[in-house]
Amino acid sequence: MIIPWQQLNQETLTNLLESFVLREGTDYGSEELSFAQKVNALRTQLESGDIVVVYSELHESVNLMSIQDFKAQQSSTMK
């Protein structure tokens, strides 16, 4: 289930973004980004609708997911 990020408390949203960056692992890009830059990039992707905040009832957890991955996951569970 998608949780509208706009409805989250700003501190909660920041903590979620920071937690995701910490779990992300190694960045294999050509240019290493700072922690703050990664958090800001995620915030920009949320604002543009490229990624969404997803709550998993099964795992009772919250995660970030690309909108394409979310739609693909939803269509595969409908089959």
pLDDT at 75: 87
Domain that holds residue 51: 2-22+34-78
Is 29 a member of any domain?
no
Is 43 a member of any domain?
yes
Q: What pLDDT digit, counting tens, does each position of 3-59 carry?
A: 999 999 999 999 999 999 999 865 667 788 899 999 999 999 999 999 999 999 999
Q: What is the pTM of this model?
A: 0.84
Number of domains in the chain: 1
Is 15 a member of any domain?
yes
DSSP codes joined into one string, the chain: -EE-GGGS-HHHHHHHHHHHHHHH----SSSPPPHHHHHHHHHHHHHHTSEEEEEETTTTEEEEEEHHHHHHHHHHHH-
CATH number assigned to the domain comprising residue 51: 1.10.10.610
Is 52 a member of any domain?
yes
Is 28 a member of any domain?
no
Is 54 a member of any domain?
yes
